[in-house]
Amino acid sequence: EGSMKEACPCGRGAAFAVCCGRYLGTGAPAPDAEALMRSRHSAFVRGDVAHLLATWHPSHRPVALELDAGVKWLGLDVKRHRVLDETRAEVEFVARSRVQGRGQRLHERSRFVREDGNWYYVDGEQLA
């Protein structure tokens, strides 16, 4: 699982155990959409499919998810966290990765909803 000192992949600069590690595997709810988005990025980096599926809203959740082993995630930059109301929020981010040696950028505005005290990823719109 990695040491307590391992840096969290989400880019906040904290140790994984006290950052996104609180949400991965524990089922503890993220306090807001940005924290959930960061935990989902960490789950992609760590190959935690269970967390990705559990935090995906049922209306958009795939039946199964297979991560591409060839993707090396390099970093995350959260551009904006916009709270629309108590149950809806958007997070705009850029995630950098390398696929077969080629650098890639995923610039997305993700939509989140809150139900029964839990935030869920709904879907995302890719930005230029």
Average pLDDT value over all residues in the chain: 93
What mean pLDDT do residues 10-32 have?
92
At residue 3, the pLDDT reads 53
By three-state DSSP, how is residue 17 classified?
helix
How many of the other CB atoms lie within 10 Å of CB of 55?
23
CA distance 54 to 118: 11
How many of the other CB atoms lie within 10 Å of CB of 41?
22
User: What are the pLDDT digits (tens) for 72-98?
Assistant: 999 999 999 999 999 999 999 999 999
Q: How confident is the model at residue 4 (pLDDT cuts 50, 70, 90)?
A: low
- pTM equals 0.93
